[in-house]
Amino acid sequence: MTEKEIKNIIEQGETETVEFKQSFTKSVIETVVAFSNSKGGKVLIGINNNSELKGVSLTEETIQKWLNEIKQNTTPQIIPDIEVLKITSITIVIIDVKEYPVKPVNYKSKYFKRHQNSNHLMSLDEISNMHLQTINSSWDYYPDTINSINDIDIEKVNLFIKKYEEKHKTKVDYAALDFLNLKNILRDNKLTYGAYLLFVKNGSFVSDIQIGRFKTDITIIDTLSINDDLFTQLDEIIAFIKKHLMVELVITSKPQHTERYDYPLEAIREIVINMLVHRDYRSSNGSIIKIYDDRIEFYNPGGLYGDLTLENLLNFKYSSQTRNKLIADAFKEIGVIEKYGSGIKRIFTICDNYGVIPPKININENSFEFIL
C-alpha cells in the first residue's frame, strides 16, 4: 500500500474492515479471526485508538514470529499477508486478512466475528449457522435423529405433489417418497428435519404455535394451539386471525359488496409465511401471535440470520438469507413463496397501499417480533 492510501485509512478511523493496534498482542489474533469470519480486513499495528502514529520496533525475526503465532493459534490455520511500511520515518505493520472460504475460524477454540468496528464472541448458534451457510446448507437438510419416515403422512406428501404439478403445469411420474428424494427433501431415503416439519403425521413437538385473542394483556377471550405440519399451520393461523378481525362492507357499483378487513389479509399471510420459513426450530421457545383491539403481535424464536442487520432490512438493502433452505424451497415449489427475499418489502408496500400504519419490527439476538 502507498503512504497516501494508509493516511486515508487512518483518517477514516476504525471500521468493520479496519482496526488499529499499538502493538502485537493476542487481541490482534482475535481480530484476524474476526476478519476471517467476516469480509476480511486490515489490522494496522503501530497506531493507537486515537488514530495517532506511534510506530513499532522490529527485528529481522519479528514478522516471522507474528506469522507463526497467528498460524499456530488459529484453526483452520490463517496465514495473512504482512507488509511493513514507513510513514514519515515511523514504522507501521499492515496485516491484510482475507475472508476465509470455510468458516468459522477460531482462536484457541473461541470464535469471533466482526460487528461494526469491534469483535464479538460468537454464540453456539452463530457458529453452527455460519458453518451451514459456508457449505451452502441449512439445519433442515440434515437427517432427523429422532423421527423416521413412518412419522410423516404420505397423503400430505401426495397433496404437496398435486400442488407442485399445478404450479409447474407438469405431471410427476414418481412415487411420493421417490419424489421427495429427487427434491432432496429426503436424503438417501432418510427423513430430514425439514421433511418432518413439512409432512408430520401426528403433530410436531418442535413447531408449536400459540395464538390468542386478547382484550388486555391478561384477558384472553380465545386461543388456539397448533402443532401440525407447516402447510396446515399456515391455513389454520390465517383462519384464526381472520375470524377475529373487524370487517366492513364497502358498497360499490358492482352487484356484490366488497369486504374490507381492518388489516390487509395479504400482509398477514406474508408475515405468517415468514414466521414459518425463518423460525429457528432448534430453539426451545415457540412462536406466539397475539391479537389485540389495536394491533397484532407476531413473535418468532430466532433473530436475523447471517449478516443481515435491521437497518438493511428496513431499507430493503439485502440479499436473501434463509435459515431453513429446505423449507423455503418447498414453499416456493408450490407457489406459497413467489420470490426469495421479497417478503418484508411486500409487507410494507401492502400496508402502505392499504392505508394502515407501517409495521414495527423488534429484534434481539434470539427473537424477531413483528407488530402490525
Are 262 and 270 in contact by the 8 Å Cβ rule? The answer is no
Do 129 and 269 belong to one domain? Answer: yes
Dist CA 161 CA 213 (whole Å): 35
Do 336 and 216 belong to one domain? Answer: yes
Which one of 91, 122, 153 terminates a domain? 122
Which one of 93, 122, 151 terminates a domain? 122
Do 198 and 160 belong to one domain? Answer: yes
For 256-267, the pLDDT digits (tens) are 777 888 999 999
Query: How would you label 198-229 residue by residue, b for 16+ Cβ within 10 Å and e otherwise?
Result: bbbbeebebbbbebbbbeeeeeeeeebebbbb
Q: What is the pTM of this model?
A: 0.70
Q: Per the structure block, which three cell numbers stand in for 26?
A: 493476542
Alpha helices by DSSP H, listed for the chain, are 3-12, 26-36, 62-72, 124-134, 154-168, 176-182, 193-199, 230-243, 265-278, 310-314, 325-333, 343-354
Domain count, the chain: 2
Do 132 and 87 belong to one domain? Answer: no
Determine the structural domain holding residue 114 and report its residue range. 3-122
Do 180 and 56 belong to one domain? Answer: no
For 350-365, the pLDDT digits (tens) are 999 999 999 999 988 7
Dist CA 101 CA 247 (whole Å): 53
Q: What CATH number does the domain containing 43 carry?
A: 3.30.950.30
Q: How far is CA 324 from the centre of its chain?
A: 9
Do 168 and 302 belong to one domain? Answer: yes
**What distances in angstroms separate CA 257 from CA 90, 245, 261, 337, one per listed residue?**
80, 18, 13, 30
* End-to-end Cα, the chain, rounded Å: 51
Q: Match 407457489 to its residue by C-alpha cell.
A: 335
Pairing of strands 190-191, 258-261: unpaired
| Mean pLDDT within 307-315 | 74
For 55-64, the pLDDT digits (tens) are 999 988 999 9
Angle between helix 154-168 and 325-333 (nearest 10) = 60
Do 158 and 283 belong to one domain? Answer: yes
pLDDT reported for residue 135: 66
pLDDT at residue 172 greater than cutoff 90: yes
For 196-248, the pLDDT digits (tens) are 999 999 888 788 999 999 999 889 999 999 999 999 999 999 999 999 998 88
Do 107 and 133 belong to one domain? Answer: no
From the list 260, 283, 274, the residue with the least C-alpha distance to 359 is 274
Mean confidence (pLDDT) of the chain: 89
Are 135 and 148 in contact by the 8 Å Cβ rule? The answer is no
Pairing of strands 186-187, 118-121: unpaired
Dist CA 366 CA 284 (whole Å): 11
Do 165 and 88 belong to one domain? Answer: no
For 148, the 3-state DSSP assignment is coil
